[in-house]
Chains A and B, each alone.
Chain A
Amino acid sequence: MIGILDYGVGNIEAFLKIYHSLNMAAIPVRSPSDFDSIDKIILPGVGSFDSAMEKLNNSGLRDTLDEFVINRDLPLLGVCIGMHMLGRSSEEGSMGGLSYISGHTEKMSFIDSNITPLLPHMGWNNIITPRQDPIWKDVNLEQGFYFLHSYCFRVEDSEAIIGLSDYGSRFPCAVKSGGVFGFQFHPEKSLTNGIQLLRNFAEFS
């Protein structure tokens, strides 16, 4: 059973509907006791880093989430701001992150372009995979996913990068450390690719 963390941020319904259409069990997680019935969690995230972290910290779910991921070592998928929250901090704000994966979020920079791409990074972009990972099973990497962000997660351990995208310069758009995944793009709004990715996460062990 997948849980979608409902802490007042992000598109819970879209994830629930997708799992429902796949005939896979998924519930919104709104209280600590909801964690008891799930074995994986999705952390959606839109808006800004500080407002998301603040809402999470005030939701009454932070401690149980930490226990779920750190102590019980159960899988988590962070989406967009949810990915940024996996690190220790973000240039976008001043609050501390979850520190589930070593890294820090900063504004996207473009080292070697003479034309500076506009921010936010908005639209469909393809994925480059430095290594094989079952999370990409049956995903059309050329078609890619939908991105909507101005900041990106700079993970410290390059081995944790399972997907890159190119916008002016390459940046990590998918990371994985143990059972913790982070995706910069929005799988819940990326048509069949997104649905497949979410299915793959559900089947991850």
Chain B
Amino acid sequence: MIEYNICVRCVMDTSDKVIIFDADGVCDHCRVFDRDIFPVWNNGSGHEQSLKKLVSKIKKAGQGKDFDCILGMSGGIDSSYLLYLVKEELGLRPLVFHVDAGWNSQIAVNNIERLVDGLGVDLYTEVINWEDMKNLQRAYFKSGVPHIDTPQDHSFFATMYKFAADNNVKDIVTGGNYSTECIRNPKEWMYYQSDSIQLRDILKKHGEKPLKSYPITNILWHKIFLPYIKGVNLHRLLDLMPYDKEHATQFLVDNYGYERYPQKHFESRFTRFYESYWLPVKFGYDTRRVQYSSLILTGQMTRDDAIHKLSQPGYDPETIHHDFEYVASKLDWTVEELMACFNSPNKTYNDYANQESFYNTGAKVLRMFGKELGGKR
């Protein structure tokens, strides 16, 4: 039984079972940030030249086409603010790419509409076949693993990249950023969503029928084929400039009628249920801990504020049963059937076939070439 401990600097604690604390009580998430991320990222400062160069390159490659880049948009603040920057400040011509996995909240849909209309950009949506999504989500719930948001996440990756490859688009911009995500979810909490071996195994063992049209991708395709063969590149533009989340949110609220979400990832009803209730209550993994730690390290939140917020559940005890009922009913389950999954033994990604070793090797290789910083994973 591990003795409870919490980092003195951020709020990551021993709910991350592989956390390491140094002599000063600072965790290895913080140290990786200090050692690997901050020196290169530098709070987003000093990258003006690189950004300019990159934007020129994208513009040039996109000449004569209807759009020069694809921007993956969930309706969340990061991708929304990025869209504003890309269109208005950087002068690019993005095609907004949105994946509808069947769980969009009204706020998300409304925010996407406001931004697309307000900025006058084009939108493309990929609608995942709901019967497939339901089948996969039921399988993941039954499997007992923590990373049950994989069906949604995997489909986001798969479709966006496929669209880029099919349409010969070289540049994808995403809202991923160090400012709010420099600390990553521990692998045990959220195993790699792109691991198609794991996905197929869980489907095989717990799925009820074969998938009809759900897009399955794989890590080789993402990390090798796309960038090196097809020349499709992913750009995290928010890392090349100072990015303050609160300022960005208020800006969009004031200028585009953007509506705030109660918490990160509330664009999807499923993700909200999963992160605020299922993951913390069933597994003890509170993703707010990771999000707040990132904000603490980047000076956007105080540790005291984080501790205070973490002392309350991330869900509303008065209304959580409504969410439980909604998720069950949407998945064509009774509340009892979903409860049965909730009460079943907790499993990990190691209980199913996976390509973890491949990821480890690959990450090492890429790091050697300076191609990936990542956080501790």
A and B touch in the complex (CB under 8 A): yes
Point out residues on A near B: beta carbons under 8 Å: 20-21, 23
Hey, what's the 0/1 contact readout for B307-323 against A, CB within 8 Å counting as 1? Answer: 00000000000110010
Contacting residues of chain B (273-326) with chain A, CB-CB under 8 angstroms = 318-319, 322
Chain B residues in 8 Å Cβ range of A21: 322
Specify the chain B residue showing the minimal Cβ separation from A23. B318
Interface residues of B (CB under 8 A from A): 318-319, 322
Residues of A within 8 A of B318 (CB): 23
From A21, which residue of chain B is reached at the shortest CB distance?
Answer: B322
4 A-B residue pairings within 8 Å (CB atoms): A20-B322, A21-B322, A23-B318, A23-B319
Residue of A nearest to B322 (CB): A21
A135 CA to B322 CA, complexed, in Å: 26
Q: Smallest distance from the beta carbon of A13 to chain B beta carbons, Å?
A: 13
Q: Determine the distance from Cα of A199 to Cα of B322 in the docked complex, in whole angstroms.
A: 17
A-B contact count (CB 8 A): 4
Task: Provide the residues of chain B in CB contact with A20, threshold 8 Å.
Answer: 322
A143→B318 CA distance, assembly (Å): 29
Q: Which single residue of chain A is at the shortest CB-CB distance from B318?
A: A23
Q: How far is the CB of B190 from chain A (nearest CB, A)?
A: 31
- Distance in Å from the Cβ of B316 to the closest Cβ of chain A? 11
Complex Cα gap A23–B319 (Å): 8
Neighbouring B residues of A23 by C-beta, 8 Å: 318-319
Q: How far is the CA of A51 from the CA of B343 in the complex (A)?
A: 48
How far does the Cβ of A26 sit from chain B's closest Cβ, in whole Å? 15
A110 to chain B, nearest CB (A): 39
B319 nearest CB neighbor, chain A only: A23
Cα A21 to Cα B326 with chains together (Å): 11
Residues of A within 8 A of B322 (CB): 20-21
Contact residues in A for B319 (Cβ distance below 8 Å): 23
Q: How far is the CA of A21 from the CA of B322 in the complex (A)?
A: 7
- Nearest A residue (CB) for B325: A20
A20 to B319, CA, bound (A): 10
Residue of B nearest to A20 (CB): B322
> How far is A20 from B318 in the complex, measured between Cα atoms in Å?
12
Report, nearest first, the 4 A-B pairs whose CB atoms are least far apart.
A23-B318, A21-B322, A23-B319, A20-B322
What's the minimum C-beta distance from B194 to chain A, rounded to whole angstroms? 38
Looking at the assembled complex, report how far the CB atom of A16 sits from the nearest CB atom of chain B, in whole angstroms.
Answer: 13
Bound-state Cα–Cα, A1 to B60, Å: 68
**Bound Cα distance A23, B318 (Å):** 8
Q: Complex formed: what's the CA distance from A20 to B335 in Å? A: 15
Nearest-Cβ distance from residue B323 to partner chain A, whole angstroms: 11
B269 to chain A, nearest CB (A): 15
- Cβ of B315 to closest chain A Cβ, rounded Å: 15
The CA of A36 and the CA of B319, in the complex, are separated in Å by 28
Give Cα A87 to B319, complex, Å: 40
Closest chain A CB from B268 CB (angstroms): 20
B20 to chain A, nearest CB (A): 44
Q: How far is the CA of A21 from the CA of B318 in the complex (A)?
A: 10
A21 to B323, CA, bound (A): 10
Tell me, rounded to whole Å, the shortest Cβ–Cβ distance linking B192 to chain A.
Answer: 38
The complex places the Cα of A20 from the Cα of B322 at a distance, in Å, of: 9
Q: How far is the CA of A21 from the CA of B319 in the complex (A)?
A: 8
Min C-beta distance of A23 to chain B, whole Å? 6
A74 to B50, CA, bound (A): 75
Report the Cα distance A151→B374, complex, angstroms.
69
Give, as a whole number of angstroms, the nearest-CB distance from B332 to chain A: 18
Report the minimal beta-carbon distance from A199 to chain B, rounded to whole angstroms: 15
- Interchain nearest-CB distance for B237 vs A (Å): 40
In the bound complex, what is the Cα–Cα distance between A34 and B202 (angstroms)? Answer: 47
Give min CB distance, B318 to chain A, whole Å. Answer: 6
